[in-house]
Structures are given as C-alpha cells and as structure tokens.
Structure 1
Amino acid sequence: MSSMPATVDVIPTPSASVRRTAGSRGRLRLGIVGCGAIAESAHLPAALRSDRVDLVALADANKARLRYLQGQFGLRVAAASDYRELFDQVAAVVIALPNSLHAPVALQFLRRGIHVLCEKPLAPTSGECGELCEAARSNHVVLAVGYVTRFFPSTELTRTLLEEGLLGQLTSFDYEAGTARGWETISGYNLIRSSAGGGVLVVSGSHFMDRLLYLFGQPDVIRYEDDSRGGVEANCRIIVTCQVQGRSLPGEITFSRTHTLANRLRICGENGLLEVREGEARVVTFRPRRGGREHQISGGPAPKDGDYFRMQLEDFVDAIQSSTEPRVNGEQGSRSVALMEHCYGMATRIQEPWVDATLPRLWAGALRSDQP
C-alpha cells in the first residue's frame, strides 16, 4: 500500500464523529481494503446484496483499480489509495489484501476498535495470528476469518452425519483438490512466497485445512512433501492421522495447481463411504458398503441469492451486534495457520520421477558442451 495518503474522491469523506454510528436504516458502516479478484467477485457483491451493511469506502493502492470497480458496480463511495483514510469512516472492514499484508493492516484497524473480517489465511505465521487475536480481545472487537466453505450446508451436514454414526467406525479419508493454474489474482501475489506465505497449500488448500480441523480435530502430520525448490509449491501431499471415536483415522490430502484432480473429500467407514464434492455446497453422497442404492443427502437450502459470502458477511455483522463469536473466529483461523506452518517445517521433496530422470541427463549434456 502507499505510504502517504492519496485519495481518489467520489463523495466527501465523513467526519470522525460518524465512524461508529450506524449507516442508513441502522446498517453497519463497512469498508473493503484490497480490491483485487476476490473483492470484485465475492466481497463487493456480498456487501451490495446485504441489507445489513452500508458499503461506504474502498481502499487499494492501485488507483486505476479503484476507478474500474467504481464504474463496474456503479459505486458512489469514498475511495482511497491509503487504507489509513478509512480509520475515521468505518465501523468494520473486510480485508482482502495479499496474505503478507493481512496482519499489519488488520492490526491497525483492531487497535482502533474497528471490527475485522479478514480473508484467509488470517496471517502467514501463527505468531502474527496470536497478535491479532490479542488485539481483538483487548479492544473488544470482532475478528472473523474468511473461510467461506464453513457456511456451505454440506460442511455442517458432513459433521452431523459423522457424529450420528452414519458410517459406523471410520476407517480412512482422502481429499484432493486441483485445477490447472488455480486461483488467478489481479496482482499475481500468490506466485511469490514473500507475499503469499506459501504456495498451493496456503492459497488453495487452506480452506480444507480449516475444514479438516472442524471435522476431525487436530491431526498428527506424519509426512508433508511438495515440489518447492525455493519458490512457492505447485503440488503437495500430506499424510495425517486424526483421533476420532477413540481410534486413529488415517488420511491423505493432495493439492495441485498444475493439473485437475477429483476435487472431493471421501470418508470411509464400516457402513460405507461419504463423498463431498468441491463446488457442491448443499449435497453429500452416501454409498452403502453392502449393496443398496447411492443416496444424495441434502444439507438444506442454499441462500436465495446463492451468495455464501453474503452469509459470511452477515454472520460477521451478527457477531458484532450481539457481542458473540463469528462462525470462524480468530482462534480457529490461527489453528489452521499453525497446521500449515507445521507442514512447511517438515517439508520433504515430493517424488517427481519425470524430473529426477531428466535433469541428470541435461546436466551431463551441459557439462559435455562446456568441454573444449
């Protein structure tokens, strides 16, 4: 972000006296900090659809990006290239910046008594997460983390079915998610380790790491391997065991941004198999082990507008107005960061036989070509 304030004025900046007052019709005054791809596709539409907030300000270091979004959405809101100009304008913010900026920017809002909904991951390190949680506690404000898949009916349904014993004794689980290229950002920050905090594990995999903790509790990581050679990893594999129903539950997790995988969670038990497909927010599939038909089990209706980001935003507003915890609070967001941090700390090289077989021949050829 810019170090000096530089405002792109659209409407006059409100005075400090209105910052914590409600917006029109009692709505919460909301700002969005960071106007990249996730803000454009999810957070901005959610704020505009909700009758619980007034979107009053945007902040992004890229002035052209601000102008584009104002035109794209027909906005008449304050816009600033320095997020600090929002301190006196808003009661709450959504932070949708590159991962490395989450902690330093969120901390400044929290210390000023401004509620924060921060995109995942909460921060690159568990130490930074702890600092954010402490700031939220000491300033009596809400800190929520944007793990939107927690709002999918299929997530809660899966947990309920496991607790009710549909599968009987659990025997194993596996999860894989991968698409060629993966999530594309405006700035490309997710291809730079210092900006993203990691590669596919953090950028794409953090949603499932949060759900892993929610469904099975804290896992014991047996092995983590990826293909990083100093930059961000594009592929990784994790072997874990979880303590469920008093027994060890083995699991295997795979993430990729170079090729398409099955994009689903499978949980196996003595009574059959439960499958939850990525992108299917409402339904899970049960396949009995001993004959019988496959069952599609619904977790309930989707929001009328199909917008789970709006649900996430309104859960954040509910927590603020009722002085309760959001569905995914800072402490839960911290646990997923600590888990990913632990994985990186024990990283080994993933098997790449096509590389391991080719590089020695290339090096040998290069050495021969250098000889007189």
Structure 2
Amino acid sequence: MEPLRIGIIGCGSIAKHRHIPEYAQNPNVKLVAFSDDVLERAQEFSTLYGGSAYNSFEALLANEQLDAVSVCTPNAFHAPISIAAMKHGLHVLCEKPMSITLEEAEEMIQTAAENNVQLMIGYNQRYFSPHVIAKEIIESGKLGKVLTFRTTFAHGGPEQWSVEKENSWFFSKKKAFIGSLGDLGVHKIDLITWLLDEKIEEVSALIATLQKPGDVDDNAAIVAKTSSGAVGTITTSWTLVPGEDNSTVIHFENGTMKLITDSEYPLIVEYRDSSVEKHTVDAVSTNEVQLNSGVIDAFVEALINNQPVPITGQDGLNSIKVVLAALQSSEERKTIPIVY
C-alpha cells in the first residue's frame, strides 16, 4: 500500500512537537507539504523532512496531490481551512477547538459528509495511558454510579510553548477567540464526557482575565451537571506557577479515582472497602515531558483501514457547545442549559 500523502497547514508549536514528528515516525505516512504564513517555518520542516513549503494554505491545496492534512493554525482559522481542504476531497485532522462558533462546526461536519471524507479533532487526552486504563475501569462497572468530579488543566501560559512567545496569537481574541478555556478547557470537557460516557447538560461559569495580556481569558471555572445528574467542576488556568496540573478526581458510589500529574502512580483507585489500586503506567504528557499523543497514529490507522475516525466532528461540536454555554453563563451570571 502506498503511504498516505500528508500536508501540514500551520507550522507552529503543536505541529513542531506533535503532528510533524509523529507523522514522520509512522511508516504509513509521507510528509509532502508544509504551509505557514511565515514561510521560513514551513521551509524549516521541508528541509528536515522533504517536500514543498508554501506561505499559504491555498497554494498548498492548489499545488499538491494529498490524501489528508493536519490543520494546526490559530483557532479562528480552523473551520475555513478545514472546510476548504475537505472540499478538495482531503481528510482532515483539525486541532482543537474545531471552530469558534456552532455554525462553523456544523458546516465542517456537513462538508465532511458531502465530500465523503473524514474529519477528526485532536483531543489527545483520550490516549494518555492513565486515561485509557481509567476508562476501562469505569466501564467495568465496579465503581458504580458517578456522583461528583473535578478536573483541572493549568500551566504558566502559552508563551512558554508558543513559537511566538509573549507575542503569541493565543492572547489575541481575533485569532484565538477564547483563551485558557479554548486551549485547555476543551480537552477536559472532552475527557470527562468520554470517560463517563455522558454529556454535560448545564453549566454555571466564571471566566476572567487576571494576569495575562490581551483580551481573552486566562482563568475559567465551570460547575457542570451531566446527563446522569452528576455534578462536577472543570477549571483551567494560564497562571499556574510552577509546573503543570492536568489532574482529574472522580467520586463514585463504590470508590474514588484519582488521575494525578507528575506522580509515581498516575492512576490511583481507592475503593469503599479501603483497598487501593496503584497503576504504574506512563505519566500524563505535559509541555515539559512530551509523549506520543496517540492522535496522529489513530487518524492514520482509521484512514488506511477505511474505518471511522475515533474522535469525530460531532465530538468536537459537543465540546464547543459547552465552551460557548460557559462563556454565556459568565457573561449573564446564570446557569445555561445545553441542547444536543
């Protein structure tokens, strides 16, 4: 079988540290084109991996014979670029959040269906080893009904990660639309709904800019109610120092599950009878300690086997609904129901 011909649109940090090296390590892939508004970034990767460099996604789509693209641009451009690529008959792996409006997300899903291509959203939290095992334990049923949860994603801010440092597009409402909630919150929304196999049905939120420059949030706190009636919190921050917190604690009828950052035991399960399971699996990936995201391999595997992608546009839309409801709640100071 011929390898998949992949193009990279947007050559910033997420492409540099995740998409490009993980594609390069996959034997079923050939990286053939790179585009970025800053041509030198695209040229850096074309020099390293071969292929062509472009300073616009339009030129890449017009000049290359591709099977799929990764869209790794600022948030505001995810939808229009993904839609254009799918109209060219290409499969798309789009970084999160998939869009900045519900209408854009719905158009992305519709465009994929109309052009018989696949659309996958890059929620890598599902593939972290502690989360995979946690999902298996929850599905076994031995913990019983979920009651409450708290999940957090926090670090010192995108300037520590972005190729643009303090001038990062993450701080621009025009390019990012949302701050820590869109950068980190969508991950934890997707994670908790995937782990529990539930939807979030209503939210109350407070969202603020406490320290960082720009006009997007750097901290957010959401109180959420799920479809089974469980109540929990989802918090995000760009102002945590030092280190990173990517933790989740879930309380069930028969015990408590703890997913902990930077621990010898990233997954601990404490049961009602006082027994404890400590799992020595790979730790949760952080900005400082990069592990294979799993997303790229899953995308490639689905395409080469002609199978549905595991994280769909609908999954992305569901997370966007929660984010937008949280923004509305914070602005209007009231609880917002979410309709699916």
Q: Is 1:169 aligned to residue 145 of structure 2?
A: yes
- Structure-2 change in CA distance of 1:99 and 1:342 (3 Å): same
Map residues 113-152 of structure 1 onto 2, 5 A cutoff.
113-152=89-128
- Structure-2 change in CA distance of 1:281 and 1:196 (3 Å): farther
Q: Any conservation in 2 of the 1:167–1:272 contact (CA below 8 Å)?
A: yes
Q: Distance in 2 between matches of 1:251 and 1:93?
A: 36
AA in 1 matched with 2:277 = H
Indicate the residue corresponding to 2:162 in structure 1.
185
- Structure-2 change in CA distance of 1:119 and 1:280 (3 Å): farther
Q: Any conservation in 2 of the 1:171–1:270 contact (CA below 8 Å)?
A: yes
Shift of 1:159: 2.4
Q: Distance in 2 between matches of 1:179 and 1:210?
A: 19
The range that moved more, 42-51 or 175-184, is 175-184
Shift of 1:215: 2.4
Shift of 1:341: 1.0
Indicate the residue corresponding to 2:316 in structure 1.
333
RMSD: 2.6
TM-score, with structure 1 as normaliser: 0.78
Q: Any conservation in 2 of the 1:148–1:308 contact (CA below 8 Å)?
A: no
Shift of 1:31: 0.6
The Cα offsets for residues 18-49 of structure 1, whole Å up to 9 and x where unpaired, read as xxxxxxx6100111010001111111111111
Q: Is 1:105 aligned to residue 85 of structure 2?
A: no
Q: Distance in 1 between matches of 2:267 and 2:142?
A: 12
- Structure-2 change in CA distance of 1:312 and 1:222 (3 Å): closer
The Cα offsets for residues 167-207 of structure 1, whole Å up to 9 and x where unpaired, read as 23332111122122246322411111121120111011111
SS at match of 2:279: strand
- For residue 251 of structure 1, the aligned residue among 226, 232, 235 is 232
AA in 1 matched with 2:184 = S
AA in 2 matched with 1:296 = K
Q: Distance in 1 between matches of 2:23 and 2:248?
A: 30
Shift of 1:278: 4.2
SS at match of 1:204: helix
Shift of 1:264: 0.9
Shift of 1:339: 1.2
Indicate the residue corresponding to 1:66 in structure 2.
42
Indicate the residue corresponding to 1:347 in structure 2.
330
Shift of 1:82: 1.7
Shift of 1:282: 9.3
Indicate the residue corresponding to 1:308 in structure 2.
292
Q: Is 1:155 aligned to residue 139 of structure 2?
A: no
AA in 1 matched with 2:239 = T
Q: Any conservation in 2 of the 1:153–1:281 contact (CA below 8 Å)?
A: no
Q: Which runs of 5+ in 2 are unaligned?
A: 285-289, 334-340
AA in 1 matched with 2:58 = R
Q: Which runs of 5+ in 1 are unaligned?
A: 1-24, 351-372
SS at match of 1:237: strand
The Cα offsets for residues 67-87 of structure 1, whole Å up to 9 and x where unpaired, read as 33445xx23211111212222
Map residues 1-372 of structure 1 onto 2, 5 A cutoff.
26-71=2-47, 74-87=48-61, 88-89=63-64, 90-182=66-158, 184-187=161-164, 188-216=168-196, 217-228=198-209, 231-244=215-228, 248-260=229-241, 262-278=245-261, 283-292=266-275, 294-297=276-279, 307-309=291-293, 311-348=294-331
AA in 1 matched with 2:216 = V
TM-score, with structure 2 as normaliser: 0.85
Q: Any conservation in 1 of the 2:203–2:326 contact (CA below 8 Å)?
A: no
AA in 2 matched with 1:249 = A
AA in 2 matched with 1:315 = A
The Cα offsets for residues 309-335 of structure 1, whole Å up to 9 and x where unpaired, read as 3x3223222322333211101111111
Q: Max radius of gyration: which structure?
A: 1
Give the number of equivalent residue pairs.
Answer: 316
Percent identical: 25
